[in-house]
Amino acid sequence: MTNSFSDFAKAKSIFVIGSNMTEAHPVAASFVKQAVLAGARLFVADPRRTALADMAERYYPLKVGSDVAFLNGIMNVLIQENLYDKSYVESRCSGFEELKAKVMEYPPERAAKISGVSADEIRGLARNLAAVKPAMLMYTLGITEHTCGVNNVLSCANLQMLLGNVGFECGGVNPLRGQNNVQGACDMGALPNVFHGYQSVANAEIRAKFEKAWNVKDLPAKPGLMMPQMVDGLVKKEIKAFYIFGENMANSEPDIHHMEHALASAEFLVCQDIFQTETTRFAHVILPAAAWSENDGTFTNSERRVSRVRTASPPPGDAKPNWWIFREIARRFDQNWESNSARELWDNEISPLAPSMAGIRYARLEGNGLQWPVPNGDHPGTAYLHRDRFTAGMGTLVTVDWTPPAEVPDDEYPLVLSTGRRLYQYHTRTQTGRCAGINDLLPEETADISPIDAKQLGISHGEKVRLSSRRGKVIVKANVTDQIPRGMIWMAFHFRENCANWLTNPVYDPISQTAEYKACAVKLEKA
């Protein structure tokens, strides 16, 4: 996120695209609601009519996978009608002429044909977004979980730069991260191409710095494998051992049948987790980890705020903090990692080696924490990024074309399935599935279907149906709701028996390697 959650409540204009905030990020959504009640303008674009859409000045029901065309159409209007921030673009951005040439290929009429949002509505949204400055843009996995996810993100950034909304309070491009501390995990280098603080492994000077600090030689300059390559490597026997840390891949990855085959192919599989899961069934070794409430350490939320976590109760049985487990494994490989606490890890290893966190010392995290970058000990933290200039100098406007999802409806599978989260369960229910009260609120999954499709198929609300794709099938109750447009089915992946990921398509964005959870072709029948 370029900006802060505090900006949400103060914003004067907010554009939410591809985000069911009220269910996936209810606290963040509450700030948006506060802004609307205070008079802010809210515009929501999503295939589903979410609860937040009901609070919006205008709701735009775009088709699944049409985001780039829709956003290019908006930018076409901004340029054609001279509504973009010309002085901002000229002084702070590069690539305008190339972007202009590309979005001229997407007049509102073409964008309307692809997105399902009328040309007049596209023109109206462009004018409304240009009318109030700055405006905030927010998105979630509805933007990223596509084979064109990176292009979707670039389009969001293009729009905000074109409007001159980046580098100001209550503006910016604000992705809401999908899981608890996923921001912190990425910040700490849980990616194959960077050390912590997003320092490239390809940079020789950076590698030398880490080699000296870690007392090792020849750290690899080549990025490691992304998860899809790892899974394929297991199947092909090119990867022999697999270490899974805090993830229930047998439920959370697309095409569960294929994923289980890959897990079963591992010659040696280690799972490190707080509970046994569907994935630990395949493990040769299970390492019991302490839960978040049994650890000291830090979390980092979507607004880049590093906050303290304190032990509320001791770990049960043989469970240990994750850092302790990793350290002990390293010692078996003759690596003596000296830090003996979360404080020592942060102050001795994290802060000194990451320029963006150089000023964050453990003692400074008391109270409200700090938002990186914090370059020195006197710095108060950064509430919003790119003030006065972009981090890299000029902001780059990047031309992107619309491409359809990898799998689209056809005669055999005439409906599109899109997936996401529901309010009363979390992810694969590793934790929430053990809470009786939560299970009472949401005891099972449903296939959400439009009244038009339900009537055409002769399906009644609450009736059991069979939902099938080229990869599998599930039996689930139908939920007939006006939230869903004609031609679309929506499901979550919380429940094992009728998990949407029995059906989803294991295809990925070529850059981010994010799976296309938001679009695959399915058919619906009475069970």
Give the pLDDT confidence of 461-517 residue by residue, as tens digits: 999 999 999 999 999 999 999 999 999 999 999 999 999 999 999 999 999 999 999
**What mean pLDDT is predicted for residues 199-214?**
96
Answer whether residue 409 shows pLDDT above 80. Answer: yes
Express each pLDDT in 164-174 by its tens digit: 999 999 999 99
**What mean pLDDT is predicted for residues 53-74?**
97
CB 460 within 8 Å of CB 494? no
The tokens 């390697």 sit on which residue? 513
CATH architecture of 182-371: 3-Layer(aba) Sandwich (3.40)
Cβ of 363: how many Cβ atoms within 10 Å? 9
Answer whether residue 9 shows pLDDT above 90. Answer: yes
| Cα gap 307→368, rounded to integer Å | 7
Task: Supply the pLDDT for residue 179.
Answer: 72
Q: What DSSP line would sit under 333-381, residue for residue? A: TT------SHHHHIIIIIGGG-GGGTT--GGGGSTT-EESP--STT---
- Look at the chain and count its residues: 527
CB 141 within 8 Å of CB 18? yes
Least confident of 358-362, 423-427, 487-491: 423-427
Q: Is the peptide bond before 134 cis (omega within 30 degrees of 0)?
A: yes
Task: Supply the pLDDT for residue 208.
Answer: 97
Task: Supply the pLDDT for residue 88.
Answer: 98
Residue ranges of alpha helices (H) inside 20-176 are 21-24, 26-37, 67-80, 86-92, 96-103, 108-115, 119-131, 141-144, 149-162
CATH architecture of 415-526: Beta Barrel (2.40)
Report whether CATH 3.30.1330.10 matches the domain 5-176: no
Report CA dihedral (424, 427, 432, 436) to the nearest 10 degrees: 60
Task: Supply the pLDDT for residue 181.
Answer: 86
Answer whether residue 180 shows pLDDT above 90. Answer: no
Answer whether residue 177 shows pLDDT above 90. Answer: no
Task: Supply the pLDDT for residue 419.
Answer: 97
Express each pLDDT in 11-28 by its tens digit: 999 999 999 999 999 999
Q: CATH 3.40.228.10 region(s) of the chain?
A: 5-176
CB 20 within 8 Å of CB 143? no
Task: Supply the pLDDT for residue 268.
Answer: 98
Task: Supply the pLDDT for residue 155.
Answer: 98
Residue 41's pLDDT band (cuts 50, 70, 90):
very high
| Cα gap 72→21, rounded to integer Å | 24
HEC readout, 266-310: CCEEEEEECCCCCCHHHCCEEEEECCHHHCCEEEECCCCEEEEEC
Q: CATH 3.40.50.740 region(s) of the chain?
A: 182-371
Express each pLDDT in 249-308 by its tens digit: 999 999 999 999 999 999 999 999 999 999 999 999 999 999 989 999 999 999 999 999
Average pLDDT, the chain: 96
Express each pLDDT in 109-152 by its tens digit: 999 999 999 999 999 999 999 999 999 999 999 999 999 999 99
Residue 391's pLDDT band (cuts 50, 70, 90):
confident
Q: How far is CA 142 from CA 56, 136, 159, 175, 518, in A?
A: 18, 17, 17, 10, 7
Express each pLDDT in 224-254 by its tens digit: 999 999 999 999 999 999 999 999 999 999 9
Q: How far is CA 343 from CA 296, 298, 308, 365, 464, in A?
A: 8, 9, 10, 11, 53
Task: Supply the pLDDT for residue 333.
Answer: 92
Task: Supply the pLDDT for residue 287.
Answer: 98
**What mean pLDDT is predicted for residues 27-35?**
96
